Amino acid sequence: MTATIPQLSALVPSVSVDALVLRRNAIVERLKDAHQALQQVAELSEAAFGEDHCRYRTLHLQDTSTHISFTDPSSLPAFVRKIDASGWSYLLDQSGIKTFMSAKVRKEWDEAIYELKVPELTAENIWGTFQVLYDKRGEMFEEGVIEVFRSLSWHYKTNRPVKFGKRLVMNYMLEGWYRGGFGSVSFGGANKLDDLIRVLCVLDGKPEPDHRQGAYRLLNAAKWPAEARDVELHGVVSVRGFKNQNAHVTFLRPDLVERMNQILAKHYPMALPPVAP
C-alpha cells in the first residue's frame, strides 16, 4: 500500500511501518501466551490455597474507573488496546505527520491515545490515517489560524477583535512560575503558537517547521523565559513571557500578517473591511 502514496512515505523516514507492525504483532502474541500462563497460575493457586487467599496483580486502565485483573479472560483486549495506543503515540511523535496537524487535531489524538480509543495498529490503518491527515492539511492549515484567533482574549488592547495586529497576547503559555523566575512551557499554548508559526512560514514560501522543532522544544531549549527575555522563532515571531502565565507575541513580518488576515476574511467576510483594489 505504501507504494501508492509515496508522498506519505517521506513523513516517516525514521520509522518503518512494516517493522513497527511486525513488532506489535509479536508483542501481542507474547501477551496472549503470558495471559494464558497467568490464568493457569491463578487456577493452580486457587486449587492449592483457596480463592480467598489469592491476590493477583491488576492494571488500572485509563478509560475505566475499575481495575482489570491480569488473569481476567475479558481483559486481554484492553491490554492489546494499550499496546496499540503506545504504538500510535510513538508513530505520531516520530513521524512528520504532526507537522500538518492543528492544535485541535493534536489534542483529539492525544485524548484518543489516553483513553485507548485508537484503531488497531495495522499497516492498512496507519497508511489510511496518514492519507486522511495528509489530504486535510490545507483545511487544518486554515483551521489553525481560526482557532488561535478564537482563543484570543479581547481584554488586551493589542488583541483586535476583527483581525491580527502587530502583536498579540496569548493566555496560559506558561503552566507555572517558580522561584528564579522560570515557568514551564504549556503544551497547549505551544501547540497554538505552532499553528500560527506554521501559517506564517507557509505564506512566506518556507517549508512547514517540523513538529519535532516546534515552539515547545525551542522555548525550553532557550530556557524561556528565565534566561531569554525574548525568543525569536523561525524568523516570523518574537515571544516574551510574563509572570501572569501569558506571552506577548510580536509579528516580525507585517506583510505576512496582512495575508493571514485575508484567511480570517475568508471565514468572517463581515469582520474585515474590503481590500482596496
Condensed to tens digits (0 to 9), the pLDDT of residues 171-205 reads 888 886 655 555 688 888 888 888 888 888 888 88
Q: Does one domain contain both 123 and 239?
A: no
Residue 274 belongs to a domain? no
Q: How far is residue 90's CA from residue 79's CA, in Å, rounded to a whole number?
A: 17
> How many domains does one find in the chain?
2
Flag whether 276 is in a domain. no
Q: Quick one: 7 and 129 in the same domain?
A: yes
Residue type, 142: E
Task: State the pLDDT at residue 144.
Answer: 74
Verify that 93 and 105 share a domain, yes or no.
yes
Structure confidence by residue, pLDDT tens digits, 25-65: 999 998 888 878 877 777 777 677 666 555 544 444 444 44
The pTM of the full predicted model, rounded to 2 decimals, is: 0.62
- Answer yes or no: is 23 within a domain: yes
Q: Are residues 152 and 41 both part of a single domain?
A: no
What is the C-alpha to C-alpha distance for residues 119 and 79, in angstroms, rounded to an integer? 14
Cell triple for residue 255? Answer: 506583510
151 and 238, same domain (yes or no): yes
**Other CB atoms within 10 Å distance of the CB of residue 117:** 11
Residue 275 lies in a domain: no
Min mean pLDDT across 45-54, 129-138, 143-152 is at 45-54
Could you list the residue range(s) of the whole structural domain that residue 258 is in?
139-267
- What is the predicted pLDDT for the residue at 152? 67
- On whether both 200 and 77 belong to a single domain, the answer is no
Do residues 155 and 168 lie in contact, with contact meaning Cβ atoms separated by under 8 Å? no
Rounded to whole angstroms, the Cα distance separating 229 from 217 reads 16
- Highest average pLDDT, of 96-105, 108-117, 221-230, 241-250, comes from 108-117
Q: What is the pLDDT, as a whole number, of residue 270?
A: 60
Which is more confident, 262 or 267? Answer: 262
Domain identity same for 188 and 239: yes
- Tell me the C-alpha to C-alpha distance, in Å, between residue 89 and each of 114, 179, 204: 9, 33, 31
Q: Of the residues 86, 109, 135, which one is the last residue of a structural domain?
A: 135
Beta carbons within 8 Å of 197's beta carbon, 6+ residues apart: 209, 215, 233, 234, 236, 237
Q: Does some domain include residue 196?
A: yes
Distance CA 37, CA 39 (A): 5
The pLDDT confidence band at residue 236, using thresholds 50, 70 and 90, is: very high
